[in-house]
Structures are given as C-alpha cells and as structure tokens.
C-alpha cells in the first residue's frame, strides 16, 4: 500500500493532512469524481463530529448488500393469495411493503400488475434505479447501457433474448425508474398453483419476473 492510502488510526486525532481517500472501501478504485469527493467529505465530517461511526457505515452497507429478492417475492405471493392485499399493494406499494414488515423508507414504490392483456417491464434509462429494498442489488445487465436503451426502444426483442415471448396481442409497457420512484412488477400467478401455500408460491416469484424480463416460474 502506498503511503497515501495507509489505514486510518482512530486512536489519534483527525489530521487534515491525511489523504481522505483512506476511507475508500477496499473494492473501490481511486478515481475521485465530483460526487465521490463530496460523499467522502460529508462522511468524514459526520464521523469527525461523532454523528455516525465507520462501523455504522459498514453495518449499513452490509445490511443493504444483504437484501435479496425474497422480500419482493413475499409481497407477490401475498398478493396472489389475498385479493384485498393485492388491491392495497397496487394502490400504495410502499404501504403494502410496510404491512409485511419490509422497510422501504421514504421511497415511493409503485407496483404494476401483469395481466393477460398487459406485460410490464422495468428499467432505469438514466442509471441503475431499482427496488433494492425488495430485490437486493441489481444484476449487472440491468445497469448496462445496452439494456437501458434497448428496453425502451425494442422491449419485445430484449424480452425474447431473455427467453420471454409475449404474444402480440399483449401490450408491453416499460417503466422508467427514477431516484425517488421505483417499480416492482407483480407477475401473473402461474397456472397449476391452486394448491400451493404462500411460501411455495413465493419461490416461484423470481427476481427477473419482478423486473418483468421473465414470467414467474411454474411449479
């Protein structure tokens, strides 16, 4: 390690001569963009003033990285078995998540329902906005320039490449996520699942079916 990136020893006082890059997470490179510099500056100040701690930041990142599609699948399975819950979920996704103990913070979550006439698909054309609270971290392809542009311009072709063929008489609607509004697709309940309980149904609600690039699995 170069002298510029030595570990910060918290036993000694804050020394402004130190390179603030020392607080980079180990997986980050050293490229300092405007926003990264701002993030480092704000984070260091908050730590210096005792408002947050490095361990607290680490814990928050660990929590965020630990989220996974099971949260979204739980909502989908509930909606499949409980029509009243489904109504509430389509009216207010954030409240419906909270109802199942899933914290989405201040995020506005919009749930879009697939039907026999309509197939929904989500994208963030600008960057990588994604319902992380419900699905975990987005897959690499979701963040790719290719998906971000083609999902809008030729959604059916993209769907076919994912192995998902949507009949011509079913409308395909693409939803563009933003920083403060996220979408979750409520896939159609697969046929032949009448006897399955909620836990078994949740296993069929895959990540990709909730992004809308696939249908829910069949049992």
Residue among 23 and 178 whose Cβ is closer to Fe ion: 178
Residue among 90 and 181 whose Cβ is closer to Fe ion: 181
Q: How many residues bind Fe ion (CB under 5 A)?
A: 5
Q: From the candidates 2, 94, 129, 209, which is the catalytic residue?
A: 129
Interatomic CA distance for residues 184 and 207, integer angstroms: 10
Angle CA 65–67–72, to nearest 5: 150
Task: Considering only the stretches 30-38, 105-113, 120-128, 149-157, report the one whose residues sit in contact with Fe ion under the rule CB under 5 A.
Answer: 120-128
Which residue is closest to Fe ion by CB? 129
Q: Is 94 a catalytic residue?
A: no
Is 122 an interacting residue with respect to Fe ion (CB under 5 A)?
A: no
Is 205 an interacting residue with respect to Fe ion (CB under 5 A)?
A: no
Beta strands in 45-180 (DSSP E): 108-113, 118-123, 171-176
What are the distances in angstroms from CA 48 to CA 57, 154, 161? 13, 50, 50
* Smallest distance, Fe ion to C-beta of residue 178, A: 7
Task: Considering only the stretches 125-133, 137-145, 164-172, 206-214, report the one whose residues sit in contact with Fe ion under the rule CB under 5 A.
Answer: 125-133
Q: What is the DSSP string of 143-201?
A: HSHHHHHHHHH-HHHHHHHTT-PPPTTSEEEEEE-BTTEEEEEEPPPPTT-TT--HHHH
* Smallest distance, Fe ion to C-beta of residue 126, A: 5
Is 124 an interacting residue with respect to Fe ion (CB under 5 A)?
A: yes
Angle CA 58–59–65, to nearest 5: 90
State which of residues 129, 205, 214, 216 lies at the interface with Fe ion (CB under 5 A). 129
Interatomic CA distance for residues 150 and 195, integer angstroms: 38
Give the distance, in angstroms, between the CA of residue 175 and the centroid of all CA atoms in the same chain: 14
Q: Is 209 a catalytic residue?
A: no
* Smallest distance, Fe ion to C-beta of residue 148, A: 9
Interacting residues with Fe ion between 46 and 85 (CB under 5 A): none
Is 127 an interacting residue with respect to Fe ion (CB under 5 A)?
A: yes
Residue among 124 and 216 whose Cβ is closer to Fe ion: 124
Beta bridge partners of 175: 122
Active-site residues: which are they? 124, 127-129
Contact residues for Fe ion (CB under 5 A)? 124, 126-129
């Amino acid at each position: 390690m170069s002298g510029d990136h030595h570990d910060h020893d918290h036993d000694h006082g804050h020394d402004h001569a130190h390179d603030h890059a020392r607080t980079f997470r180990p997986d980050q490179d050293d490229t300092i963009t405007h926003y990264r510099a701002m993030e480092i500056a704000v984070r260091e100040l908050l730590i210096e003033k005792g408002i947050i701690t490095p361990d607290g930041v680490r814990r928050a990142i660990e929590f965020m990285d630990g989220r996974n599609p099971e949260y979204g699948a739980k909502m989908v399975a509930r909606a499949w078995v409980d029509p009243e819950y489904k109504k509430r979920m389509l009216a207010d996704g954030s409240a419906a998540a909270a109802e199942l103990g899933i914290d989405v913070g201040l995020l506005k979550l919009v749930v879009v329902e697939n039907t026999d006439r309509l197939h929904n698909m989500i994208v963030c054309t600008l960057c990588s906005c994604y319902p992380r609270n419900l699905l975990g971290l987005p897959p690499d392809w979701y963040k790719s320039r290719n998906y971000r542009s083609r999902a809008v311009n030729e959604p059916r072709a993209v769907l076919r490449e994912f192995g998902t063929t949507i009949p011509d008489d079913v409308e395909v609607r693409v939803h563009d996520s933003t920083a403060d509004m996220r979408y979750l697709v409520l896939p159609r309940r697969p046929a032949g699942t009448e006897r399955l309980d909620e836990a078994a149904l949740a296993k069929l609600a895959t990540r990709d079916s909730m992004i809308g690039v696939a249908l829910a699995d069949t049992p």
